[in-house]
Amino acid sequence: MTRARLAAAVVAGGLVLGGCGQTPSDDTVRSAREAVTRDVVTNDEPSAPGSPMAPPRRTPRVATTSPSLPPGDPGLDAPSVPDPGAPGAEPEARSHARRTVPVAAMLTADTVGVALGGGWVRTAGGGDQCVRPEGMLAASVMSYGGSSAGLVTETVATYPDSGAADAAVKAMRQAVAGCGWDGVGDPRLGSASVSAEDGPRSMVAVSSEGLVVLLVGEGAAVERAGRWASLVDLALGSSCPAAADGCH
């Protein structure tokens, strides 16, 4: 109950009680009515903003959250890093390219014997000067010979990166044709490859991971295509110590 209604009830009660005892005077009734009217005006009308009776205003709170970043995003304040694709940026493989070919990257005489059969002896050097990769950082050449098994020459060459190795193999396609080799084709090995034949001789060059592996065989070494292909696979597998990242 509001104060105005309470005052009205008190006045009414007083008039009733007065009727049971004695009649209130006109001045008493008039004073009571003025008190009721004053209370109604004071308490029933809303207080003006800023008046002593006005309730304090509250500023509504607005929930704020920090913007979230996706996993792995360092944000705008993270330090900048070099752009690997910008001019002058050197690929990592280029800085790690080997400038020597380890002996472990070459075939052994026993490995050649496993693939081709018979007994073999390994000696340094050899090869056809007209059929060789160009532009390498480093290269190693080994020759493998047997009493009646023919001859095999292996070349392992390193390059600044895979693109340079692929380009060297593609250039050999024209080089071997100019040297009189026939049947120039692509055996689909590594990232680039070329094969050709010249009478009793066969050659295969393959690029992989910044390396070029070249095999040239003649005589009994290339008579059986399956064994020759097996030797090419073994040469690719054994060459990984010469790669920039080593064996995988």
Give tens-digit pLDDT for 10-68.
444 444 334 444 445 555 545 555 554 454 444 444 444 444 455 555 555 545 555 56
Output the CA–CA distances (angstroms, integers) from residue 38 to 68, 168, 187, in the order listed. Answer: 60, 108, 110
Give tens-digit pLDDT for 70-109.
665 556 565 555 454 444 444 444 558 889 999 999 999 9
Task: Please determine, for residue 216, whether its predicted confidence score (pLDDT) is greater than 70.
Answer: yes
Contacts of 62 (CB under 8 A, 6+ apart): none
Q: What is the pLDDT of residue 17?
A: 39
Contacts 24+ apart (CB under 8 A), 111-115: 111/234, 111/238, 112/144, 112/152, 112/231, 114/234, 115/227, 115/230, 115/231, 115/234
* Residues making up the chain, counted from first to last: 248
Residue 160 CB: number of other CB atoms within 10 A?
A: 19
Single pTM value for the model: 0.63
Poorest-pLDDT segment among 74-78, 128-132, 205-209, 228-232 = 74-78
Residue 75: both structure tokens together: 């944000």
Task: Please determine, for residue 237, whether its predicted confidence score (pLDDT) is greater than 80.
Answer: yes
The gap from C-alpha 211 to its chain's centroid, in whole angstroms, comes to 24
